[in-house]
Structure 1
Amino acid sequence: MAALRGVSGSACGLRLQQATRSAYATCSRRSVSTQAAESASPVLLDLETDSSIGVPQLSPEEKKEFRPWKRAADRKLPLPGSRYQYHPPKYDRGPLHPIQSPNQSDPTARDFVPGPFSLPRLRQTFQSTISSDIMTLAYNHTPPGTPKEPPAERLRTWDDSSPYHKNRPKRAPRGAPVLPLRERDITFNNIPEIKEITLAAYSPEAIDDPNHLIVTRSVMLALTGSLPDITTTHSSVVQWGVVKGKRAGVKTTIYSNDAYEFLDRLIHIVLPRIKDWKGVRATTGDGSGNLSFGLDPQVVAMFPEVEVNYDMYPTRMMPGCRIFVKTTATSDRQARLLLQCMGIPFWGKI
């Protein structure tokens, strides 16, 4: 029995060795097309049978003469386009079209923008903590089977006191030529977020002294990292010496991560250093989820970007600024709730 075991073991080893050698012989060929190229088939004669590893290296003389840019410049006709090369569509023809434009994050997209290269701390806190807190604070339990209340009528109807009132469209409410957005309940796919932040600075002294405008623009550039646009006055005020059309201010808008970075510095560095500051007035807002508040020149000087080079800006030319926070909320109540969760205090009667 032992002898049989030894014979079977040696036979298995011999068969394994023969199989390994045959595998090596098979793998030494480049591909199956090598066997086809060796045959006399005229269809596959153009296939290469040698590997690129065995190609000899170029000599120094050949390397000097190898100039692909010169060959491309001398080429009169462009290379033929490959049918496997993807070209994104130039126009978006709707969601039902069989050919759709790639996302903006796709490198092949026409509107490709690289990034983001960093995740702001305030935005990360919003995604991990603040968003769930807002859903909890704004939750309004409705028992099953409760009938839905019809929406309130916002447009005024005609009293039909005249025959011309018939079939006429309803009128807007008094004192509001533009209807504000109707507030929607906060759900998992409707959580308010920061959309953009606009900073505007007005310096009426720049009408007589353009140096004020240079300092104002430099300060706004340091705060936002984007070059502000110069604004002009819309009307003339004789008492203040303001002439219509004169350059007297700057304005810039920041989006996405830049807006969260600016708001993070404002909440955690600048606002805690203001003495006897109540907070933002609770009555601010345009009724559609956009809030605004102002900062004095002394407060603008507390930003780290300005404070590190404070001697570069003349003290008497330091401007104040107005901050407009645009959110995806549909009411001022939701926008205040979002900024309160981020750390901005509000005061006064709502």
Structure 2
Amino acid sequence: MSSTPLRSLAASASRIPALKRASIPSSSRYASSSSSKTKTPSSKPSQTSPLPKDDWTLPHIHVGPTHASRYSQHYHNSLASDLMYMTYSHRLAQKPPKPEPIQPPQTAYEANRPRPPIMRGNRALRTKTTSIDVDNVPKLESVIIHTMVKEAIANKSTLLSAIMALRAISGETPNGGGKKGSSGVEVIVAKKSAAAWKLRAGMPVSVKVELKGDAMYDFIQSLVDFVLPRLRDFPGIPLPPSSTPKNSPASLTGIVSFGFNPTTMSFFPQIESNTDAYPRLHGFHVYFKTSLRGENAHEHARTLVSGFRIPFHRR
């Protein structure tokens, strides 16, 4: 056997692997090289571009009631019916008859006779008495908390502690909590000047906040459950003396008001948890504004307020 065919076979065998290696496409080599690079620890991770701000929107958050007001349910379930039973008046429920029309004069003597004089006086007309029936049961319209700061005449910054305290007690801010009618804590300015106290008209001297709805009942609950039981030797809210005339302006308005000293403000749980945040505590007045007007309005208003476990006593 000659050596020529063997040499040709060996050469052909050595050329086949080279042809196979050359036949691998360039894309596969690049892919293999890139995969080998990603496996190395020194390679940097790929960074994704952030989304444009126009592609996402903030979802609408609706702040709704978190719990049912116990004092509101107490009024609608039991107190309203009791007030209807205690304050109902059959006389007010009956509609008065219509007055007879004035007849024209029949004779010349009646036509020329002078009319009787009209009784005049210096007293204002009596407020119309509110009729109490099923559709008009006495109820609370609002609760007003008012604080007078005498030091604000010389230094306006002393009002900040009173504003912070009332905001903590009431939880009211302008249009806060989804309530559009909330005005928050308001600063009251003087209407008239008083030279004896160095007071000029327009100077801020006090702050107040008006509570309505569930916020009103939440404040009453804090006052009755946490504050009043901790007052030492507290007999109750003093009643007006029995000699007070029933036709006085205070008796014809259905507003019950009483005041507390500065120590009482520290008993509210909103302030007691962080008393050091308030440089000074102030005394305050609470006004319960009801829907009653006219005769016996003040007495019926006290009956309504006492239904929320606020005691009264006679001096």
TM normalised by structure 2 equals 0.60
Distance 1:265 1:240 in 2: 35
Distance 1:190 1:253 in 2: 23
Corresponding residue for residue 184 of structure 1? 131
Asked if 1:345 is matched to 2:311, the reply is yes
Asked if 1:321 is matched to 2:292, the reply is no
Question: Which is greater in Rg?
Answer: 2
- 8 Å contact 1:207–1:242 — kept in the other structure? yes
Corresponding residue for residue 238 of structure 2? 281
Corresponding residue for residue 336 of structure 1? 302
Distance 1:269 1:343 in 2: 12
Asked if 1:225 is matched to 2:171, the reply is yes
Corresponding residue for residue 267 of structure 1? 224
Of residues 201, 204, 223, the one that matches 1:247 is 204
Give how far 1:303 is off.
1.0
Equivalent residue of 2:253, what SS?
coil
Of residues 240, 249, 271, the one that matches 1:306 is 271
Gaps spanning 5+ residues in structure 1: where? 1-66, 71-112, 143-147, 152-162
Distance 2:122 2:149 in 1: 35
C-alpha deviations, 1:303-348, integer Å up to 9, x for none? Answer: 111111111112xx31111211111223112211111111112223
Equivalent residue of 1:328, what SS?
strand
Asked if 1:215 is matched to 2:161, the reply is yes
Corresponding residue for residue 27 of structure 2? none
Give how far 1:281 is off.
2.8
C-alpha deviations, 1:183-229, integer Å up to 9, x for none? Answer: 423x3322211111111111010122233111011111111112311
**Kindly tell me: are residues 170 and 241 of structure 1, through their superposed partners in 2, closer, same or farther at Cα, counting changes over 3 Å?**
same
C-alpha deviations, 1:54-113, integer Å up to 9, x for none? Answer: xxxxxxxxxxxxx9x79xxxxxxxxxxxxxxxxxxxxxxxxxxxxxxxxxxxxxxxxxx9
Give how far 1:141 is off.
7.3
- 1:136-215 aligned at under 5 Å gives the runs 136-139=85-88, 174-176=122-124, 179-185=126-132, 187-215=133-161
Distance 1:287 1:274 in 2: 31
Distance 1:126 1:257 in 2: 12
Distance 1:220 1:272 in 2: 21
Distance 1:166 1:231 in 2: 51
Distance 2:211 2:266 in 1: 20
C-alpha deviations, 1:244-272, integer Å up to 9, x for none? Answer: 32111112211111111111111221112
- 1:6-17 aligned at under 5 Å gives the runs none
Distance 2:141 2:65 in 1: 16
Corresponding residue for residue 72 of structure 2? 123
Stretches (4+) displaced over 4 A? 113-117, 139-142, 148-151, 165-171
Identity of aligned residues (%): 26
Distance 2:138 2:162 in 1: 32
Gaps spanning 5+ residues in structure 2: where? 1-51, 56-61, 98-111, 173-183, 242-249
| Matched pairs, number | 220
TM normalised by structure 1 equals 0.55
Alpha-carbon RMSD across the aligned residues, in angstroms, is 3.4
Q: Which has the higher contact order (CA 8 A, sep 6+)?
A: 2
Aligned AA for 1:202? M
**Kindly tell me: are residues 150 and 188 of structure 1, through their superposed partners in 2, closer, same or farther at Cα, counting changes over 3 Å?**
closer
Distance 1:240 1:255 in 2: 34
Distance 1:203 1:264 in 2: 26
